[in-house]
Structure 1
């Protein structure tokens, strides 16, 4: 990873550095397309193999049939395009977790405005204990929040701010028993590449991911897994030639599978790059093995933060994945500005990020994070905490 040569990197939840083999795959794909002839008869078999191969690989990661996978540019598009294709009635309620990303929340607010829907909130941001306690609390709160008008539930698989995981499969099972069987939309921006996702992706109606975070793929390419019942009920939203079952004038007819949410021309070399990044992750072991390695470093970081005066981790137990969020205070107890902390660390070659809700610092450990790098970060934070 060339980007890691001159820095200590803990921002995989923002963007994962691109491995050299993935960059080479992108460059090679560009060269192949030019050699075959862009938009020529010779190039289409190569394009179809490249796109189809990635669809097959992601379907295996998601635990679903390839027909349930659509490609998008990013997580937000993966959430919004299928969402806008569903049938809504005035007065339908959207139950939204209070730790969701503001990009998705803004789209939900516009959807509610246009269709005269009502948005209600499900409190999950305060759930910072272990997985069993969290799953129990989510179940109880969901039961209390559901109403006869609930038509959609929105939760992230791995919360981007606190680092907590949500029991997606259990939530889906509960919704199946609701009289209206509300749709379940899952923002999986932080889960693909960090958590095992098959159970959650197969259970959700919309499970939207990106390739440029924990997968360490190129930006500009994401994917969404959609349920069969969503495909039966939904209509395309943005429509282009890739939406159509057959190409050509007067072809008409939309794809019956998830491709109805694909639009038009994409950058094929990005598919080659993401496919290579996923292969590199697979070479490190299965999803459970990879998560164990990620947790080893995040546990090391979490434990070390408990020993630094003035630091409070958002999670009260070791994190379930690689997100470790925390606040800092000076020796007198006055809060330190997260932006200032991140800048000072950046000046020392260590990269983290700030979050606004809650206002904190977030560090991410991944497979390439080393014990020495974690200890270096802890030493730098200790220095900053004493002024």
Structure 2
């Protein structure tokens, strides 16, 4: 069995989910999100491009994995799954296979939890499942597994520490490579090469690299844009170890930055430190956002904030590494030890044609916060 953790780990996770299902009054959970599937059985393959669903119920002796028949050998080698129901995509609808498992277990009229806000179940599949199980009562269970995943075990934290080391090394390689004429796509390739050299798996979001005016576009993808003297360079990169992610974000400039850019970068570093300092067990997760803005308001930069200050992250597959907790005032969570999340008070000056990124993966500890990256947080000036 080639999984990140021993079978006993997945068994404990399944038991935790079953306990949470009982609290929620669910008889069945069908999880389709590949990160949740991996979390519960270790399966790591791109079979999720087609329907796959891990079915959990106290009425089932083991979780049942519904997946395409072509994935059988991968399931046997790459997961802790003991029972699987394979379907031939040319002959059977995957939702019919799910219905077959539930009907066979006497669960066709059960209270069935579905991840209705997941990317991995289409509206057509949901409607087909309802049609196949007309007696079933379908309940949104999108966050049921995700809530359990918010607090990492020491083993999971170790994976994220390794991922952070990979991200740091890739960032260093990127900064060392900066020179006039280098294109965004070339630099992205260098980042990916260094990640591979460090042993990183492919991350859920590719490296984001932009130059010059494009640094005002927080989520722009790399293109064939050459670097010129005086350009800002914005880099976001994540390492990935056993699918656990750690992200780091930095801004560099080729040549001496203008005074306004220099001042904004210093203010951003100050706000970043204040946000991290606001992390304490028991505090609302919106506290860093308030602390960050308190600094940026003094510098008339709060209105330049690009987005929310952060979110929980860990185990992930494309297209995102966001987990269920968002660090803003509208989120009811409170910090607890071994929660991991990003801190990224990025600034965008769209009207001026530039922006600044600064972010890291943060771990909440018993005494506060720990930044998993070891890189300095200021603007990198490349002579």
Which of the five TM-score ranges fits, normalised by the shorter chain?
A: under 0.3
Q: What TM-score comes out, normalization by structure 1 length?
A: 0.26
**Which structure is higher in strand share?**
2
Of Structure 1 and Structure 2, the greater helix share is in 1
Q: What is the TM-score when the length of structure 2 is the normalising length?
A: 0.26
Q: Which has the higher contact order (CA 8 A, sep 6+)?
A: 1
